[in-house]
Amino acid sequence: MNTIFTHRSIRNFTEQKVEEEKLTRILEAGVRASTTGNMQVYSIVVTTDSECREALNACHFNQPATKAPVMMTFCADFNRFNKWCEQRKAAPGYDNFHAFVVAAIDALLASQNVSLEAENQGLGICYLGTTTYTADRIIDILKLPQGVVPITTVVMGYPSEMPELTDRLPLEAVVHREVYNDYTPADIDRIYAERDTQPLTLKLLKENGKETLAQVFTDNRYTKKDFVAISNLLLDVLKKQGFMNNEM
């Protein structure tokens, strides 16, 4: 009954549409998330129309999960707040990097509430990490104005699969007590022992022709070349959307 502990990413969905009342309830869950100073500096763009979706799905490389009936793009958004300030004789100073960070935090906490409530309502969800890869194109497609940057995407629908829970590193891998206790080589070996040798890993090594799982990440999935290119794309997007004016 505790949705948090039964979460798995769903990438295959039935044709069934998500009812409007459910969508409203799910979005209301998002709005209850903590937000800096109650500013609510985020927006959620809900896209279901098949024409709108076609271009958006391509931004996510048409991965199977994009076939979900509902796609929600979570955006850091100071546009609304800035407009309110300007209409209320106040001069907003939120065109800088910290404003982006504050707004991105708001957007991400809301996204997790939305995801959990969607699961509470019997839907399956999947985060699309590809949002940052093509943020510039998503901005064009969704017509995001200055002060708005897409940060993550969640697709949802009725699941047509129920995969196993994904393995996680032991708790000690991510938790530190009092202060950070840096990892010794022995710690790393112990923490990753299970993941390094499990059947899924052996399958990936074979598929990718690699010696270690880490190489699958560095050489195939998340290469330095791609990460550097996306870093520069993102910094450029932040500049264009008005979040890099870091001088008084």
Among the listed residues 143, 164, 199, 206, the single contact to a copy of itself using CB under 8 A = 143
> Nearer to a copy of itself by C-beta: 175 or 206?
175
Residues 40-79 that bind a copy of itself (CB under 8 A): 40, 42-49, 52, 75, 77, 79
Tokens of 39: 């500013």
As measured in angstroms, the least distance from the Cβ of 200 to a copy of itself is 10
Instruction: Give least dist CB 30 to a copy of itself, A.
Output: 8
CB nearer to a copy of itself: give 123 or 148: 148
Of 13 and 42, CB closest to a copy of itself: 42
- CB-CB contact of 42 with 106 (8 Å): yes
Cα 144 to Cα 166: distance, rounded to the nearest angstrom: 34
Q: Which of 57, 65, 69, 94 binds a copy of itself (CB under 8 A)?
A: 94
Question: What CA–CA distance (Å, rounded) separates 220 from 227?
Answer: 12
The closest alpha carbon to 32, from 96, 94, 117, 98, belongs to 117
Query: How does 41-70 read in b/e, with b if 16+ C-beta sit within 10 Å?
Result: bbbbbebeeeeebeebbebbeeeebbbbbb
Quick one: which of 10, 151, 155, 156 contacts a copy of itself (CB under 8 A)?
151
Whose Cβ is closer to a copy of itself: residue 12's or residue 215's?
215
Give, rounded to a whole angstrom, the gap between the first and last alpha carbons of the chain: 51
Residues whose CB falls within 8 Å of the CB of residue 7, separated by 6 or more in sequence, listed in order:
115, 116, 119, 165
Site for a copy of itself in 158-217 (CB under 8 A): 166-169, 171, 173-180, 182-183, 185, 188-189, 191-192, 196, 211-215, 217
Q: How far apart are CA 140 and CA 145, in angstroms?
A: 9
Nearest-approach distance from CB 69 to a copy of itself, in angstroms:
13
Considering only 152, 157, 159, 242, the residue that binds a copy of itself (CB under 8 A) is 152
C-alpha–C-alpha distance, residues 78 and 97, integer Å:
12
Say whether residue 17 binds a copy of itself (CB under 8 A).
Answer: no
Q: C-beta of 138: minimal distance to a copy of itself in Å?
A: 10
